[in-house]
Every structure is written in structure tokens, then in C-alpha cells.
Amino acid sequence: MIDSNSLKLHTTLQRHAKEMIATLIEEDLHFSIVCDTTFIKFTPSLSAEMRERLGKVAVFILSGYSFQSLELGENHFEFEAGLVMKNGDDLGTILEIPYSSVMQIVLQDENDAQSVMIYCNPFEVAQNQELEDSMIAILSNNPHIFYKDKAEE
């Protein structure tokens, strides 16, 4: 049975998502991501109605300008995208997505119409975020975890 509360497992999955995205960028391979939208930051912010229309889970295709604008950060990545509005207008926005929000990374096979999933995170983002928040709280309240006490030397 998988321990869904394992901080090490969640950290490994986040690192794996980051490394996978970095490799796809290096190899110039366009891809799609399936994300939990709960913790995605949009700049400019989306209206409540637009966020609702987007749903809890969304697919983003990273090709063309979106792919070229990809930037990797320590805990998140960002890219520019055009979201189609209800009236048909395009809304340009920058998405900042935590690696913990990535549920799947999918490639399109060049030789046929088959999609190939190359990454899967089976855990809910809320679980990941709660683990991350609890780790930050523990570490900020216990700085001695990282630093040796001079008295111990």
C-alpha cells in the first residue's frame, strides 16, 4: 500500500515532474500537462467565473509560444498562454504552476495519433500542499535541524 502521507514520496514526485519538464525543454519536445488548478496563479488574475469554467482539472498544451515562454523555478514553472473567453476573445495570461499540481505529462507520438503519458502523480494536490506546508512549519520552528549546535561539536 502506498503511504499517501509520505513527504519523501511527494518530494520525489515533484522533483521528477521538474526534471521531466526540463528534459522536454532541452529536447525541444512539445507536450501537454494535466493539472489541478487549485494552486495555479494566473497573471492577470482570472475572474471567479473564468476559474469556475476552467474547472478543478485542466489540460494545457505547451507548444508554440507557450512552449518557448516556459521558465522553470525551484518549486514551480511558468509560461504564457492564451485562454479563450466566452465571447471568443483571447485572454493572454501567465500561468505559475507548482510542480505538485502536475497530475500528468503527456506526449503526442510523432508517428501516429497516440498520446503517451510519461509522468503521473496519483496524489491530490491538497495532500501535497498540506505536506509542504507542514514541512515548512516544522523547519521554521526547528532551525537546529539544519544547523549543528556549537555545544555539540
Domain count, the chain: 1
- The per-residue pLDDT for 111 is 74
The contacts of residue 6 (CB under 8 Å, 6+ apart) are: none
Q: What pLDDT does residue 117 have?
A: 94
Question: Which residue's entry shows cell 508517428?
Answer: 111
pLDDT of residue 92: 85
Is residue 96 a part of any domain in this protein? yes
Q: What is the DSSP letter of 20?
A: H
pLDDT tens-place string over residues 26-81: 999 999 999 999 999 999 998 888 888 888 999 999 999 999 999 999 999 999 99
SS3 56: coil
Which tens digit of pLDDT belongs to each residue from 84-122?
A: 666 666 778 999 999 999 999 999 877 777 889 999 998
136: containing domain: 7-147
Average pLDDT over residues 132-140: 47
Give the integer Cα–Cα distance in Å for 79 and 116: 22
- Asked if residues 71 and 18 have their Cβ atoms less than 8 Å apart, the reply is no
Residue 152 lies in a domain: no
* 49 part of a folded domain: yes
Q: How many CB atoms lie within 10 A of CB 132?
A: 17
Look up cell 499540481; give the residue: 101
Residue 2 lies inside a defined structural domain of this protein: no
CATH code for the domain in which residue 75 is found: 2.30.30.220
Q: Per the domain annotation, does 1 fall within a domain?
A: no
- The answer to whether residue 79 sits within a structural domain is yes
Residue 110 domain flag: yes
Other beta carbons within 10 Å of 110: 7
Residue 75 lies in a domain: yes
Measured CA distances, 45 to 91, 95, 96 (Å): 11, 10, 11
